Amino acid sequence: MRPCSTVMHLLLRWMRRCGRHSRSHMPRRLKQPVSYIRLIFKSLYFNSLTNSEVVLDCILEPVFWMVEVVTRWFGMVFVFLVVALTSSVVFIAYFCLLPLVLQTYSPGWMMWHICYGHWNLVMIVFHYYKATKTPPGYPPKIKNDVPFVSFCKKCVIPKPARSHHCGICKTCILKMDHHCPWLNNCVGHYNHRYFFSFCLCLTLGCMYCSISGRNLFIDAYNAIDQFRHLEAEKQGVPVTGIGLLIGIVPSEAMAGKVEVSQPPYTYKDRMFHKSVIYMWVLTSTVAVALGALTLWHAVLITCGETSIERHINNKEAKRGKVYRNPFSYGKLNNWKVFFGVEKRSHWLTRVLLPSGHTPYGDGLTWDIYPLKKDMMQV
């Protein structure tokens, strides 16, 4: 507190001294902004609640504003990148790898690759579309009898439990987890399941492409490297037996002496090998990065928390407070509530197959089950 006050005091003294010398020479249109900035610093200095956190928030406010603006305006760019990269991998799989699978694999492995690949593709497309187009859920803006835990100063409406304000969407979100730029949408109560299912299916698809395409990647890399060396050798052969003419003689001139037959490396072969390398590098990278994110969200779902709630709970725990999550129904039951599983057949129809069912509750109240013990025996 004392170093912060000292810094603010010295800063004010410097601004006052500079203001005295430059007030007479300052243009008229700059006097009002300078006076406004001086008033802001005075209000911070004479505020009894001023501390290092308040000063840091004021300094980082332009950074937060820039992040919000960039995320808001580039949301469609991120969505386009997801669609373009996924489409490129699908294109390579259909036009490069599928003919190879049909020619070399046994009927059993052929059916496995075709069935699993198309199931994974349908799950990715369905859940990404639903996560992007489904609204996360918003608190009512009119007066009602719904209980609330706080008041949003930006929206000027009551905030129900688990709802938070999104600075990018400029509104409060029910059971907000985070704002995802790759969806150009907030992840909240009504699209949280779609978001997690998309991440899980995309991770499984990238792992499938990375593992099954490992040998193809090695062969393609070796083929490109081998033909690159051959092309370098074909440019010329150094000779020194032609008097003063010492240089490079084209290899065609030596054809009468040495004949080496190499298979032609066509443009089609080059593009095939480069496509395989591109697909393997992209899917392997996404599998590692997105797999870590999916694992983190799986831990949060197991604990019955969101990303924001985990941050708040850890912050409160560091202050010595004992926290007990009131929204957790047990590890297995949290997954059942998250996926909407009410009977055993729902593990197939609502988890392993595309399903557009709505989540439990309305996102305003969370007394879904009066008793939290063994609420769904499945």
Instruction: Give the orientation angle of helix 107-133 with respect to helix 75-92, to 10 degrees.
Output: 170
Q: Please tell me the distance from the alpha carbon of residue 179 to that of residue 187, in angstroms, as a whole number.
A: 6
Phi/psi of residue 43, nearest 5 degrees: -65, -35
Looking at the DSSP bridge assignments, the partners of residue 180 are 185
Angle between helices 52-73 and 2-22 (to 10 degrees): 70
Q: Which two tokens stand for residue 311?
A: 């941050």
Instruction: List all residues 6 or more positions away from 198 whose beta carbon is below 8 Å from its beta carbon.
Output: 124, 127, 128, 131
Of the candidates 169, 172, 180, 201, the residue annotated as catalytic is 180
Residue 281 CB neighbour total at 10 angstroms: 12
Query: From CA 286, how far away is CA 124, in angstroms rounded?
Result: 14
Q: Can you state the angle between helices 192-212 and 331-339, rounded to 10 degrees?
A: 100
- Specify the length of the chain in residues: 378
Backbone angles phi, psi at 365, to 5 degrees: -125, 155
The answer to whether residue 169 is catalytic is no
- CB of 257 closer than 8 Å to CB of 317: no
Whether the CB-CB separation of 50 and 8 falls below 8 Å is answered with yes
Q: Between helices 267-303 and 192-212, what is the axis angle to 10°?
A: 140
Q: Indicate which residues carry an active-site annotation.
A: 180
